[in-house]
Structure 1
Amino acid sequence: MIKDIIAEGLAAGWQHIDGAEQQQDKSLECDVLIVGSGAGGGITAQVLTQAGLKVLIVEEGPLKSSQDFKMQERQAYPDLYQESAARKTKDKAIGIFQGRCVGGSTTVNWTTSLRTPEHTLSHWQQRWGFTHINPVSLAPYFQQAEQMLGIQPWLTRNQNNSLLAKGCDALGWSYQAIPRNVKQCWDLGYCGMGCPTNAKQSMLVTTIPAALNAGASLLSRFRVQQLTIENDQVVGAQLIALTKNQRTTKRVFTVKAKHVVLAAGAIGSPAILLRSKVPDPYQRVGKRTFLHPSVMSGALFEHVVASHQGAPQSVYSDHFVWQNGSEGACGYKLEVPPVHPILLATKTTGFGQFHSEMMQQINHLQVTIALLRDGFHNDSVGGQVQLRDDGSPVLDYSISDYLWQGARRALLSMAELQFAAGAKKVYPLHEQSQLVSSWAEAKKLIKQLPMQALATRLASAHVMGGCAMGGDEQNSVVDEAGNYRWLSGLSVIDGSVFPTSLGANPQLSIYAMALRNAELLAKSLRR
């Protein structure tokens, strides 16, 4: 029988308050209020509680456990994702997958754990004035995170990943095994719906329990409406309790804190700052928010692929990421996604009989994705977090010609790779696309497809930036320790501090940065 870590912890006396069960307003006090329980918030919570500080973690989503994860998309998406996994950019052109539950996106991601590329760190030093953060200074924190979370290369491949490797071998392209944050993984393939075996070493089963065991308190289903600011110092926050279906209630919790850490993600953290009307003399909050906009290509094979089974991601290729240097033509990373019915149905273009026929061939379908590297070029400036009239955030993300050129090259590369791997037919995901039977036919089709928003199918599970870190106060929101430049008592420790996208899946980069900056914060607060 699988051990239910959450149920056992609650029975043992963990301090947990569920917003959906509250009947009256309350006031709370703590040393540190951490907003968000994902990669940044979870790591920070463990470091600060083990340093002897009284920590309060607040999470907008629910607290779930392994017994709640039924490997059903229809249940997982509304329970565990922002906007039921239907979050999109302002123009609806890019789908955005983000977790909204205790553990954040670490609870629902596909476990890929890659270090920040040295090209990226070098660019940050040269362009964004980093002086303390570099490959050497981060190496101990990468090693610590990898040891904590069981991160090591996963050498077992399902067919979906094997075909990516096969195509690379045939074309002479480089590829590598993906390190995953798992222990005793059952290789089920349903990581995106929460791990029912606790094999995934997410914050839900590692750092959050460690923090709660050390005396931290957890508030789930609470939204931070705004920070409380007095005399240029953040002294707490106002929280609104949410119902089980995430609607706001009239219950308000007031938290008084000596320090606040924003770890609500690259859309959530800027949104809180904007709602709080924080001082922002250079208008940088919410700007330069980045995705890895991803184009997709489907391929039909004679043999069964069963892309829903096995580790979702175990092979990647960086062959095209840095081919033109960090500031040259847009690079892209090649990976594969798991192929589950609802995920496929909502991302596949076409309709009617064509769409039905594609869905019926799901077990013979291999899908490759190309993650576009945004933020390194002058024509590649990302998006902007804005607030709707009700205060909820939306990401305005226009796609430049620079990115569209990268998208076309990526579609060409994926089609070439899939035919090299033995595909019988390939289908670039685009509203004006069609099934093609040869690389020559695919090349002709893709070169004619208009690269336009809402025509080219785009998605991203990686959101970065919006509270950029850097050495220049005119171009950054926080310093290299994560301290907000214009208020005391406030830090940002999550993926929103990255000044560009990474060119790699961000999970491990956030872990390492959080370990570093939470350690610095603990020393500062103890003084």
Structure 2
Amino acid sequence: MSQLQDPIRDGLQRGWKVLGGALGPAPAKIVCDVAIVGSGAGAGVTAELLAKAGLSVVMVEEGPLKSSSDFNQKESEAYPQLYQESAARKTEDKAINILQGRCVGGSTTVNWTSSFRTPAATLKYWQDEFGLADYNVKALAPYFAQAEKRLNILPWLTAPNENNDLLRRGAAKLNIQAAAISRNVKGCWNLGSCGLGCPTNAKQSMLVTTIPAALDLGAQLLTEMQVERFELANGKVTALYCKNVMPNGAPAQTERGQTATKIIAKHYVLAGGAINSPAVLLRSGAPDPHGWLGARTFLHPVVMSSAVFSQKVEAWNGAPQTIYTDHFLNTQAIDGPIGYKLEAPPLHPVIFASTVPGMGQSQRDLLKTFPNNHTLLALLRDGFHEQSRGGQVRLRGDGSAVLAYPLTDYVMDGARRALLSMMEIQFAAGALQVLPLHEMAQSYTTWPQARDAVNALPMKPMLTKMVSAHVMGGCGLAGQEKLGVTRPDGVHWQLENLSIHDGSIFPTSIGANPQLSVYGTANRLAQGLVSKLTGRAVALA
């Protein structure tokens, strides 16, 4: 793998304008047409389109610039280098662990490539509840199609690995429909280490697609630079202030003593991801007349069930997520009892050991089953019910962001039903024993035993293991100012030269892995922004 071409190192040698960290300090002041906060899904798409239109663009990324030469499939290096808080970011009460990228390319660099268009039921709810008439399947379709072509998003035609096929086989035994997941890959080696950075550049993340394209067109990238705040005056952003940080996010100081950079732009795009984007606006004292800033932040809370099979599963091998079922979404009214999507995640030693319950001998016994272990996860579709209003992004005393997310009885009822569904599928697939990830659960050897036990478990935060890799909301879109933070065209309701182009603008959760929803939506919003700023028409190609 070390002999593979590294497009990032090649670009740097060609003279890309990249500063920060080992690449050199940024100047004290930068003037440009558009400043973009972040470098993930929304930022990358936006940067390519703006640069293609001839605008001078500066991207600001808090994390480091890493590339395929750095991706060695080691968890011990990937988590501290590529994730927020070393893959240990948590909600305020520590009840939910949150995986978010923190590197150039953002979460697109470390996600598992699962790609779904925004479900029609989700869009219909946005139209009805948030006045987003133009957010419908027909209007968004061409923007999704462009993103899919640009990022090679196609159904995964290779046979699923055993980890995913167990979901397919178990569901089939119960007459539950399962289907293949589309993936944004090209020439994939089927290694299974997508979450640790792709060492072959097969994953078509922003790191190897839109960001290189923007840099080739003259855009600038500042890495290891944390955005502190916007300067605001008269309903506009007048400047952006950012500071040097270490690769781990700690404050840094350059040899010259310069630690801060001021960026003055005609227009600003906030695309730091849900949690970080609302936090920037909160630190900036942004107007929030209706109290929506940071509110309605959603997580697709995830519960999991771990099973042991007689055969080797080796869930770290092969494409990580290729089979899913929406049976438990489609059989629930969108505003009824919470529905959930089932998928089979990859397993790696550190993430497995830190997720399963137990300690001492019981954990040792469980870890010994690792090669034969199969885990299912359920993404709970939050945000569509009065008792599922999401969380609130807040600032700690030092200005850092934290998400308070209440796990209501409504959500926990869905967690119990999801555990039951996953266990039944695993037993149907031939599991020898199944362990729902709950501190008071044990390994069960029959479906009736497991069903009765889980029905009796107290479904409480901290006892029920909860994780998330999908943060959405906090700067929600709305057709009326009183219903959200962001206008339908992506512009902040009260700040005329600030757009928001990331998952924070979703008024609910998506109900599916959200990366393609961000790509498609940002594509549409960025094309509109280009037209507004230049009068030109550009598109992803």
Q: TM-score when scaled to structure 2?
A: 0.96
User: Alpha-carbon deviation of 1:285?
Assistant: 0.4
Distance (whole Å) between structure 1 residues aligned to residue 120 and residue 15 of structure 2: 44
Task: Tell me which of 186, 203, 219 is aligned to 2:189.
Answer: 186
Q: 1:329 to 1:14 in 2, by over 3 A?
A: same
Give yes or no for the alignment of 1:321 onto 2:329.
yes
Q: Are 1:332 and 1:503, in contact at CA under 8 Å, matched by a contact in 2?
A: yes
User: Alpha-carbon deviation of 1:378?
Assistant: 1.1
Q: Residues 336-347 of structure 1: matches in 2 within 5 Å?
A: 336-347=344-355
Task: Output the amino acid matched with 1:177.
Answer: A
Larger CA deviation: 24-33 vs 451-460: 24-33
Give yes or no for the alignment of 1:263 onto 2:271.
yes
User: Alpha-carbon deviation of 1:228?
Assistant: 1.5
User: Alpha-carbon deviation of 1:368?
Assistant: 0.2
User: Alpha-carbon deviation of 1:274?
Assistant: 0.1
Task: Output the amino acid matched with 2:47.
Answer: A
Q: Are 2:19 and 2:26, in contact at CA under 8 Å, matched by a contact in 1?
A: no
Task: Tell me which of 170, 175, 181 is aligned to 2:173.
Answer: 170
- Aligned match of 1:12: 14
SS of the counterpart of 2:242? strand
Q: Are 1:329 and 1:406, in contact at CA under 8 Å, matched by a contact in 2?
A: yes
SS of the counterpart of 1:30? strand
Task: Output the amino acid matched with 1:358.
Answer: L
- Aligned match of 1:288: 296
Q: Are 2:26 and 2:222, in contact at CA under 8 Å, matched by a contact in 1?
A: no
Q: Are 1:294 and 1:371, in contact at CA under 8 Å, matched by a contact in 2?
A: yes
Q: Residues 300-449 of structure 1: matches in 2 within 5 Å?
A: 300-449=308-457
Give yes or no for the alignment of 1:195 onto 2:198.
yes
SS of the counterpart of 1:334? strand
- Aligned match of 1:244: 247
User: Alpha-carbon deviation of 1:117?
Assistant: 0.5
User: Alpha-carbon deviation of 1:22?
Assistant: 5.2
Unaligned runs of 5+ in 2: 254-258, 536-541
Residues 39-92 of structure 1: CA distance to partner in whole angstroms, max 9, x if unpaired?
000000001000110000000000011000010000000000000000000000
Task: Tell me which of 61, 69, 90 is aligned to 2:71.
Answer: 69
Residues 210-232 of structure 1: CA distance to partner in whole angstroms, max 9, x if unpaired?
00001100000000000021222
Q: Residues 120-269 of structure 1: matches in 2 within 5 Å?
A: 120-155=122-157, 156-250=159-253, 251-269=259-277
- Aligned match of 1:36: 38
SS of the counterpart of 2:518? helix
SS of the counterpart of 2:114? coil
Distance (whole Å) between structure 2 residues aligned to residue 4 and residue 290 of structure 1: 36
Task: Tell me which of 48, 51, 64 is aligned to 1:49.
Answer: 51
Distance (whole Å) between structure 2 residues aligned to residue 243 and residue 359 of structure 1: 34
Q: Report the RMSD for the aligned CA atoms in angstroms.
A: 1.0
Q: Are 2:126 and 2:132, in contact at CA under 8 Å, matched by a contact in 1?
A: yes
Q: How many pairs does the alignment contain?
A: 527
Q: Are 1:38 and 1:105, in contact at CA under 8 Å, matched by a contact in 2?
A: yes
SS of the counterpart of 2:382? coil
Q: 1:318 to 1:348 in 2, by over 3 A?
A: same
Q: Residues 463-478 of structure 1: matches in 2 within 5 Å?
A: 463-478=471-486
Q: Are 2:96 and 2:465, in contact at CA under 8 Å, matched by a contact in 1?
A: yes
Q: Are 1:20 and 1:243, in contact at CA under 8 Å, matched by a contact in 2?
A: no
Residues 88-109 of structure 1: CA distance to partner in whole angstroms, max 9, x if unpaired?
0000000000000000000000
Q: Are 1:226 and 1:276, in contact at CA under 8 Å, matched by a contact in 2?
A: yes
Distance (whole Å) between structure 1 residues aligned to residue 22 and residue 80 of structure 2: 16
Q: Are 1:4 and 1:65, in contact at CA under 8 Å, matched by a contact in 2?
A: yes
Q: Residues 471-490 of structure 1: matches in 2 within 5 Å?
A: 471-490=479-498
User: Alpha-carbon deviation of 1:470?
Assistant: 1.0
Residues 99-123 of structure 1: CA distance to partner in whole angstroms, max 9, x if unpaired?
0000000000000001100010011
User: Alpha-carbon deviation of 1:21?
Assistant: 5.9
User: Alpha-carbon deviation of 1:247?
Assistant: 1.1
User: Alpha-carbon deviation of 1:322?
Assistant: 2.9
Task: Output the amino acid matched with 2:7.
Answer: I
Q: Residues 107-126 of structure 1: matches in 2 within 5 Å?
A: 107-126=109-128
User: Alpha-carbon deviation of 1:474?
Assistant: 1.0
Distance (whole Å) between structure 1 residues aligned to residue 172 and residue 528 of structure 2: 45
SS of the counterpart of 2:89? coil
Q: Are 2:343 and 2:377, in contact at CA under 8 Å, matched by a contact in 1?
A: yes
Residues 204-260 of structure 1: CA distance to partner in whole angstroms, max 9, x if unpaired?
000000000011000000000000212221122001011233211350001011111
Distance (whole Å) between structure 1 residues aligned to residue 248 and residue 326 of structure 2: 40
Distance (whole Å) between structure 2 residues aligned to residue 474 and residue 112 of structure 1: 34
Distance (whole Å) between structure 2 residues aligned to residue 54 and residue 61 of structure 1: 22
Larger CA deviation: 20-29 vs 425-434: 20-29
Residues 358-390 of structure 1: CA distance to partner in whole angstroms, max 9, x if unpaired?
111100000000110000011110000000000
Q: 1:24 to 1:329 in 2, by over 3 A?
A: closer
Distance (whole Å) between structure 2 residues aligned to residue 98 and residue 161 of structure 1: 23
Q: Are 2:75 and 2:350, in contact at CA under 8 Å, matched by a contact in 1?
A: yes
Larger CA deviation: 236-245 vs 71-80: 236-245
User: Alpha-carbon deviation of 1:24?
Assistant: 7.9
Distance (whole Å) between structure 2 residues aligned to residue 20 and residue 206 of structure 1: 23
User: Alpha-carbon deviation of 1:23?
Assistant: 6.0
Distance (whole Å) between structure 1 residues aligned to residue 339 and residue 232 of structure 2: 42
Distance (whole Å) between structure 2 residues aligned to residue 428 and residue 409 of structure 1: 12
User: Alpha-carbon deviation of 1:25?
Assistant: 5.7
Q: TM-score when scaled to structure 1?
A: 0.99
SS of the counterpart of 2:227? strand
Task: Output the amino acid matched with 2:30.
Answer: L
User: Alpha-carbon deviation of 1:131?
Assistant: 1.3
Larger CA deviation: 44-53 vs 318-327: 318-327
Give yes or no for the alignment of 1:83 onto 2:85.
yes
Q: Are 2:20 and 2:26, in contact at CA under 8 Å, matched by a contact in 1?
A: no
Q: Residues 499-514 of structure 1: matches in 2 within 5 Å?
A: 499-514=507-522
Task: Output the amino acid matched with 1:478.
Answer: T
Percent identity over the alignment is 53
Distance (whole Å) between structure 2 residues aligned to residue 115 and residue 519 of structure 1: 19
SS of the counterpart of 2:327? strand
SS of the counterpart of 1:295? strand
Residues 326-361 of structure 1: CA distance to partner in whole angstroms, max 9, x if unpaired?
111100000011110000011001111011111111
Distance (whole Å) between structure 2 residues aligned to residue 510 and residue 428 of structure 1: 32
Give yes or no for the alignment of 1:102 onto 2:110.
no
